[in-house]
Amino acid sequence: MRSLALLVLAAAVGEAAALGAAPARAPAAASLRPAREDAEEAVAVAVAVALPRSADPAAVEAAGDEAHGDASSHHQHGGGYKIVQWEWSYVQTPYIIAIWILVASVAKILFHFSQRVTTVVPESCLLILLGLVLGGVVLIASKKQLYQLDPGLFFLFLLPTIVGDAGYFMPSRLFFDNLGAILMYAVVGTLWNAFCTGFCLYGMKLAGVIGELGGMMEFLLFGALISAVDPVAVLAVFEEVHVNETLFIIVFGESLLNDAVTVVLYKVYISFVEVGPGNVQTADYFKGVASFLIVSIGGTMVGLIFAVILAFITRFTKRVRIIEPLFVFLLVYLAYLTAELFSLSAILSMTFCGIGTKKYVEANISQKSRTTVKYTMKTLASIAETIIFIFLGISAVDKSKWAWDTGLISCTLIFIFVFRALGVVGQTWVLNWFRLVPLEKIDQVVMSYGGLRGAVAFALVVLLDGKQVKAKDYFVATTIVVVFFTVMFQGLTIKPLVKWLKVPRSTNRKPTLNEEIHERAFDHILAAVEDIAGLNGYHHWRDKWEQFDKNYLSKLLMRKSVYHKGELWEVYQKINIRDAISVIDQVNRSFYLSSNNSTSHPGQGTMTYICLSHGFCRRENGSGVCLDLQVIDPVSGGKLEEETETHHLLTGNLYKPRRRYHAHYSRHFMTMGDKERQDREVFQRNMRSRLESFKSTRYKGKTRHKKERSQKKARLSCSSQPFFSHLDVHFSSSSFTNYYYYYYYCSPCSLTQSPAD
């Protein structure tokens, strides 16, 4: 609008000049205004245009009137142009956002300077304390609280980044293996906690422990919003505790899927409060049940629809790789907004969109796009989580928004903890009748203690209408205390509790190929057992889904080149990566041995010759090389000489490209760098050398096969010559991949040893 006004004013200047310059073209009676008036109008418009963008319309009008009154003095002063102008109102909003993001990022850096503090105190607790300090400083400086956690900002911008990251990188196999337990805790457990907490608080009010704060519907509404486990708090605390994968996925899955129950109960009770408890009819309760089904199933369907759309679009982005991450972020976010548009469960929509689309999107997009999506999502989620906890601390400082009631706060803390524990124990007893691996008592203790509340409950209680809910200020104060207690006290003590109970911890070790092969074999065996027994169990339906996905969905949503490549090619790429890691291990061991020899014998010069063979290198031990960029620590000081020697050693012995490439720039494509070109050339050389080695082995096997035909049928050996001697097929790279995979992982000799050895 501002730029449009400037264009209109400029057009007016031009019109005034035209009218003043050519008055003779029209009759004198038809002249619109005298030439002197036109000149004064042009001067006034010019003054208005020269004003800063931040000036308001009143100032512009006043400047115009002043210019009309004294145009000659304006010409005498030579104009009012300013070299530097203060434009705070123009950049205020983005500048404040950038400053808060900067403060949050610097806070995370400062927290991790001291490992003793971060290993004891969770990061979320430190961020809340920082928010309390910042809120106190702002309150003292300005006498009022200027910044708070806005519910609209939280639900539309901060929460989607965290849920999108969690849904997209959700371990789908683990999630669906425990889906029954997750739904049990999310639906039945949340309903149990909400009703029991609300009714007991109302009972305490009738007993006189709590003041006159409202009727039964108000307490049921408060019980609904305070009983749901918060996904932001669970992620922040449980990721630092590192509990085992099953325990983590159950608690985190519950915090995501209970959103439908919370949304429905929240809206139903608000409508009941608005119409009054006496006007609620029996049909309204059935409408509430139907609303729960529509909100949960509808949100899930919206997420799956957008997942199919996203996967299908990425089939055709081969020539425009640069916009692949944009499609991922945009459509996942649109799934969230579309669910909010129809009052469905946005968290469920975004979660299932990420889970459903990852397999196909990761297969279609390039490696650079996958890396971009991964680190961008992680960065946005981390910043959003930091801002949420800081603003929780800032919002708690504003006393004008809440009122204190000791009885309400004490009873709420007791009830949510007691009913959470009772619900977990009762539901686990039922689930263990059907689970192959039951949940132990120590798991139940951690699940009961890990029911954390967070920013979702705070945002919902802030959204309450103070005119409808008279006890809103008391509910806000109670919610703040509950959030601080669960995140800070339980977050501080859950790690010692896990160590004391000796709860199995998670491991970052990836499964070997041998384990993956046996896991698939067991899946097929269990599905066959269910078919023989005539049971349509979990393994039966999973096998049916995999067949449907292979025959229809993968063909529809994956690019043909990706779909026909198969899994053997991926296995061969893993083998090459493993060989490269073993070579790096050999280089590191040789270098450190040479360094130790040179330090132990300073008078003798040592020279280390490193042979970087590309043969069939197999690691005898686990690799000490870490390929995860998130856990690589910077090199500490005092190692400059060692780094210099390492650099010269690697420069002299490692790969040097034979081909020359010209630099190229493209706005639509990400050009391949030196490292990518070198990796591709090394891979091609490695393939070529293995092909030649295989050809020679195959030729020797054929000649030996002719000479020893009588002995071949009498023995079965693990050597490569008898294995390849009977294969009378045309050689190609794909057939070599199949033979190489079979020889290393399916031949009789591989059954006695692990592929990682």
pLDDT recorded at residue 403: 86
pLDDT value for 506: 78
- pLDDT of residue 64 exceeding 50, the answer is no
Average pLDDT score over residue span 484-499 = 90
CB atoms within 10 A of CB 482: 22
- Is 243 strand, coil or helix? strand
User: Angle at which helices 245-257 and 159-168 pack, to 10 degrees?
Assistant: 130
- Which residue intervals of 630-719 are DSSP H helices? 640-653, 674-707, 709-712
pLDDT given at position 510:
73
**349 HSE (CA, 13 A, CB side):** 26
What is the SS3 assignment for 544? helix
Q: Categorise residue 332: left if φ over 0, alpha if ψ from -120 to 50, beta otherwise.
A: alpha
Task: Record the tokens describing residue 487, joined without a space.
Answer: 């995140």
CA 60 vs. chain centroid, Å, equals: 48
Between CA 328 and CA 231 the distance in angstroms is 22
Residue appearing with tokens 């608000």:
270
Distance CA 448, CA 442 (A): 10
- Answer yes or no: is pLDDT of 130 > 70: yes
Q: Which of 626, 619, 624, 623 lies closest to 753 in space, CA to CA?
A: 619
At 691-725, the pLDDT tens digits run 777 666 665 655 565 666 656 555 544 444 443 34
Query: CB 17: neighbour CB atoms within 10 A?
Result: 13
- With cut-offs at 50, 70 and 90, classify the pLDDT of residue 432: very high
Please count the other Cβ atoms lying within 10 Å of the Cβ belonging to residue 93. Answer: 9
Average pLDDT over residues 267-288: 85
Residue among 391, 417, 411, 415 nearest 474 (CA): 411
What is the torsional sign of CA 449, 455, 460, 463? positive
Query: Which pLDDT does position 646 carry in this prediction?
Result: 63
d(C-alpha 678, C-alpha 647), whole Å: 18
Retrieve residue 98's tokens. Answer: 């950038």
Look at 122-136, 157-171, 187-201, 554-568 and tell me which has the smallest mean pLDDT.
554-568
Element at 27 (helix H, strand E): none
pLDDT for res 107: 84
Determine if the pTM surpasses 0.85: no
